[in-house]
Amino acid sequence: MGRTDSRETKEKILKAAEALFSDKGYDGTGIEEIASTAGVNKALIYYHFKNKEGLLFALYGQIMDEVKILVGRSFLGAGRNNRGEVKQALREILRLLREKSPLLKILLMESLKGGLSEKVFMDLARMLMEGELEEMEYHGGVADQRDRFLVFEFYTGFMPIYNYAVMGDTWSEHFGLDGKRGEEYFLDSFMATHLAHHNFK
């Protein structure tokens, strides 16, 4: 199998797995069904990904890459004192995460069970925080500052964005709030708390 064929096969498998995981859940999806949907022999799934968990990790790797690119592009182009630009950057990040919300829900549920999925969840969080963490370490941040930073970023930055991406629509429906208005209120709250600490206006 050539390199191009191998890449195309992996992409077909990942696309099928994402669709089935999103529709039927992780536990409700089997390797044979993924292979059938992708139109490949199931041996190729084991060859490329080892097992179903390997497939899940590969899908999260794709999400992490997309989010990392979008975070960098969005905030590099947003002026810190331009509230509209900052809000639009956040909107773009939320849009991507909400598109992937079925998979993000699975990751959250699987991480609560412990094991390797928990590590993937924490790796996703670290990936989103690593730029500022590296900058702090470069400037000689002491351990206490680093620990405070990690607590602040995880619990006031990563988790609110993640939770809104996976629960925003359900929350708005439950409380009878228009989804777009709910998103605006969330973004206003996020900017007034987490981003205010980072000197975004």
Q: What is residue 173's predicted lDDT score, i.e. its pLDDT?
A: 92
Q: Using the 3D structure, point to which of 28, 50, 72 is the last residue of a domain.
A: 50
Same domain? 70 vs 37? no
Same domain? 42 vs 138? no
Same domain? 16 vs 92? no
Q: How many CB atoms lie within 10 A of CB 188?
A: 12
Cα-flanking dihedrals φ and ψ of residue 27, to 5°? -70, -25
Same domain? 35 vs 89? no
Q: What is residue 110's predicted lDDT score, i.e. its pLDDT?
A: 82
Pick the closest to residue 106 from 13, 6, 20 (CA basis): 20
Residue 71 CB contacts under 8 Å (≥ 6 apart), including other chains: 93, 128
Q: What is residue 84's predicted lDDT score, i.e. its pLDDT?
A: 81
User: Tokens representing 195?
Assistant: 């981003």
Contacts 24+ apart (CB under 8 A), 94-102: 94/161, 94/164, 94/165, 94/183, 94/187, 96/66, 96/67, 96/70, 97/67, 97/161, 97/162, 97/165, 98/165, 98/168, 98/169, 100/63, 100/165, 101/165, 101/166, 101/169, 102/21, 102/22, 102/23
Q: What is residue 200's predicted lDDT score, i.e. its pLDDT?
A: 57
Q: Using the 3D structure, point to which of 11, 31, 50 is the last residue of a domain.
A: 50
The domain total for the chain is: 2
pLDDT digits (tens, 9 = 90+) for 17-60: 999 998 998 889 999 999 999 999 999 999 999 999 889 889 98
Q: Using the 3D structure, point to which of 50, 67, 88 is the last residue of a domain.
A: 50
Same domain? 84 vs 172? yes
Residues of the chain with pLDDT under 70: 1-4, 74-81, 116, 131-143, 199-201
Same domain? 19 vs 113? no
What is d(CA 9, CA 39) in angstroms, rounded to the nearest whole number?
Answer: 9
Same domain? 126 vs 150? yes
Q: What is residue 124's predicted lDDT score, i.e. its pLDDT?
A: 76
What is d(CA 75, CA 175) in angstroms, rounded to the nearest whole number?
Answer: 32
Q: What is residue 199's predicted lDDT score, i.e. its pLDDT?
A: 65
Same domain? 94 vs 169? yes
Q: Which domain holds residue 28?
A: 1-50
Same domain? 108 vs 188? yes
Q: What is residue 34's predicted lDDT score, i.e. its pLDDT?
A: 97
With 0.75 as the threshold, say if the pTM is over it.
Answer: yes
Same domain? 64 vs 158? yes
Same domain? 175 vs 126? yes
Same domain? 95 vs 186? yes
Q: What is residue 141's predicted lDDT score, i.e. its pLDDT?
A: 57
Q: What is residue 142's predicted lDDT score, i.e. its pLDDT?
A: 56
User: Domain with 4 in it: what CATH number?
Assistant: 1.10.10.60
